[in-house]
Amino acid sequence: MSKIFKKHIDKFAQISDEEFEEILKFFETKQVLKKENLLEEGQICRYHYFVLNGLLRKFYINEKGIEQTTEFAIENWWLTDNIAYERKLPTEFYIQAVEKSQILYISQDNQEKLLKAFPKMERYFRFVYQRAYAAAQMRIKYLFSLSKEEFYFELLRKHPEFVQRVPQYLIASFLGFTPEYLSEIRKRIVS
């Protein structure tokens, strides 16, 4: 499994196998069961999670008591509550496994130590954050410029394997509508 992480790092920063073995010492690995929460609202966000295998989601519970999914993370994606993680604050989010997952995770303190010991990893994390920020920008653009139907079709067009993998009620939550409305859209596609 660690080869997956090494391959991901190599996309952005060149490190030797020996350096990688030392870098891994800053991380821990965990198997997460389906529907297991890694983080719950009100907890201090202590970790940044990298998905080796599986699927995570980040969500909050809105004023109506409904779960609103804000992000997903599949293999080779990172997930945390960035503000709470960086500032060691209580989070307003939950992070939950959608599928049985294997993750690497790092604490904020260990990440700082890692970056001091291996400055090359600054470049790696810069690219990780840039990509996450770009994805958030596109999601905001789609929320404001596309109808809910168009947003679903855009997601389906760009990430068909992802849409097939994620339960429909979670896709609906991510797009901001009810599972029933998504079901209606999907029926129109078929007919």
Instruction: Provide the percentage of residues in the chain whose pLDDT is more than 90.
Output: 71
Asked whether residue 26 carries a pLDDT value surpassing 70, the answer given is: yes
Inform me whether the pLDDT recorded for 72 exceeds 70: yes
How do the domains of the chain map onto residue ranges?
1-118
Per-residue pLDDT, 180:
87
1-118, which class in CATH? mainly beta
**Interval 131-182: pLDDT, tens:** 999 988 988 898 889 888 888 888 888 888 888 899 989 998 988 888 888 8
Predicted TM-score (pTM) of this structure: 0.91
Token pair belonging to 95 = 């992070």
49 token code pair: 């999670």
Asked if the model's pLDDT at residue 122 lies above 80, the reply is yes
pLDDT at 190: 64
Buried-state track 144-180, b at ≥16 Cβ within 10 A, e below 16: eeeebeebbeebbeeeeeeeeebeeebbbbbbebeee
Give the three-class secondary structure for 5. helix
